[in-house]
Amino acid sequence: MLNEMLRITKHEGTVIIMSPNLLSPFLPLKSIYNRFMRRESIEIAGLTFFQSFSCLLKNMIALFNKIYLHQNNFLYRVPVLSQPSVADSDSVYLSTQIDIIRFFKKNGARITGQSKGHSLVGKIIARLFPHACGELFVAARVNKE
C-alpha cells in the first residue's frame, strides 16, 4: 500500500497517514487507568487488567526494539472481526510512526510532519514522546527525480 501511495503521488506531492498508534504504551496505560476508575476500557488494549498489562509490556519491548535496535519490521496481528466490533479491533497491523517514517525516508521522501495529539494531554505526549503517542500521524513530501 505504501509503495502504491508513492507511485501515484506526483513529484512534490504530500502523502498523509493517520491512524491510532497501536504500539503506543499509552493505550494500555489508559485502559488500566480506566479499569481502576471503573470506566469503559479500550478493547484493543486488552479486556482484562492482566491483558492490558501484558499489552503494555509487549508494546514497550516492541518500541524499544524499533527505536534502539533499529528493527524495521511491520508487525502484523490477527484482526478481531466479531460483532460488535470496537474501533481498531479490525486492524491487521500494529501501526507506529517509526515504520512509516523509515519507509518513506528509505524511498526518498522527506518527512514534513509527525505525531499529533487531539487533547492537551495528547499534544504534550506527542511532543515529549513522538514515537509513543497514541495517534500516528506522518506527512511525507514525495521526491520523484
C-alpha 11/C-alpha 15 separation (Å) is: 11
Predicted structure pTM score = 0.80
| Parent domain of 95 | 2-141
What H or E segment, with its residue span, contains residue 27? helix 26-36
Residue in the structure block whose three cell numbers are 484493543 = 44
109 by DSSP, 3-state: which? coil
What's the confidence (pLDDT) of residue 28? Answer: 86
User: Tens-digit pLDDT profile for the chain (145 aa)?
Assistant: 899 999 999 999 999 998 888 888 888 888 888 888 877 766 667 778 888 898 899 989 988 888 888 876 788 877 777 755 556 667 777 778 888 999 999 999 999 998 877 788 888 888 888 888 888 889 999 987 7
C-alpha 30/C-alpha 41 separation (Å) is: 8
110 and 140 Cβ atoms separated by less than 8 Å: yes
Radius of gyration of the chain (CA): 16
* Overall number of domains in the chain: 1
